Amino acid sequence: MKQLSNSLYMKYLVLTLAFVSFHFVATAQDESKTVKEIEERYEIDEVTSDTTKITIKTKTVTIIKDEDGRHISIEDSKEVLDEAKKEFEEREEEEWDEKFDYQPKERVDERKSSQVGGLALDLGFAHFINGNTFGNNAVNPELAIKDFRLGSHVALHVLPTRVSIAGKGKVNIKTAISVDWNNYYFTSNVTLIEGDEGIEFGQAEENLSKNKLTTRYAQIPLLLNFNTAPGQKNNVSFSVGGYGGLLWSAHTKQVTEEGKKKTKNKGNYNLNPIRYGLTARLDFRWLDIYVNYNLSEVFAQNEGPTTQTFEAGINVIDF
């Protein structure tokens, strides 16, 4: 009974203090307020032998008495919490994301001042281009290749890096260490012969089911990147820049139709030891594409046909 009396005492003590505060601050001009009216304004939710809960507008004050004394906590009332829970359950996911700015990790990273990734991968096709002429018409008939062969261009970007230079991710510099492969799948039985004065063309003794030249360059791209809304679903990312690199290796591979005999020969094949060009990238939701235009010629100067290459495809792993 003593504990209950203390609890009731605390109840009326709080009510008395509330009444005094209400009297001098909120309603100084009206002295007709009664304890009953105060009790109606301050709802007593629960009273037990050791706990008193009082709701004041949107807040609930909890007074707990134990062996260590009295403890007071203030939190949102049950009515407010229930209303928030109902709003959460009814809100559509997209609306909730926009209002409360919840974003996956990759979108949060877009707003950082700098970001270094692991790997990025491009997969597309490569073809010849010479001025306004595109495709096999831009090169000697001996070097005609299969049109738009997926995988004729592959680029692996190591440590793709983005550094923000303005607008918290809206304007950035992008770069990486890249390894770039071009696979030229010839349509004829041509055999490339590396010569002292230039590339020579021979013919294979048997019909070939596969005949290709593979080049591999080590490159460094440097791009200026623009993001319309970093971290948001409707963000559009556009990059433009250039790249330069050196010939790493090259080889030819031939497979005969009969017997499937494979022959692989390494060499430089009078290729241009230096490569440079222009590049552009567009990233919008599921659409992530790139284009490269090699300003340098495929073969070294005066050592092969005068032609360049054009590459395009999709960014399989984001750069």
- Identify whether 237 is part of a domain: yes
According to the model, what pLDDT value does residue 306 have? 94
H-helix or E-strand spanning residue 106: helix 105-109
Of the three residues 36, 61, 90, the one that is the final residue of a domain is 90
According to the model, what pLDDT value does residue 259 have? 86
Cα R_g (the chain), whole angstroms: 37
85 and 109 housed in the same domain: no
pLDDT, tens digit, for every residue of 116-146? 989 999 999 999 999 999 999 999 999 999 9
Structure tokens at 178: 């890249």
What total of structural domains would you count in the chain?
2
196 and 160 housed in the same domain: yes
- Identify whether 259 is part of a domain: yes
Q: Are 35 and 19 in contact (CB under 8 A)?
A: yes
pLDDT, tens digit, for every residue of 153-207? 999 999 999 999 988 889 999 999 999 999 999 999 999 999 988 999 999 989 9
According to the model, what pLDDT value does residue 28 have? 42
Residue ranges for the chain with pLDDT beneath 50: 1-4, 20, 23-47, 96-102
- Identify whether 131 is part of a domain: yes
- Identify whether 98 is part of a domain: no
184 and 35 housed in the same domain: no
- Identify whether 97 is part of a domain: no
78 and 117 housed in the same domain: no
32 and 178 housed in the same domain: no
According to the model, what pLDDT value does residue 319 have? 82
- Identify whether 279 is part of a domain: yes
85 and 113 housed in the same domain: no
Structure tokens at 300: 């070294």
According to the model, what pLDDT value does residue 20 have? 47
According to the model, what pLDDT value does residue 255 have? 96
Domain that holds residue 54: 2-90
Q: Are 183 and 214 in contact (CB under 8 A)?
A: yes
According to the model, what pLDDT value does residue 17 have? 56
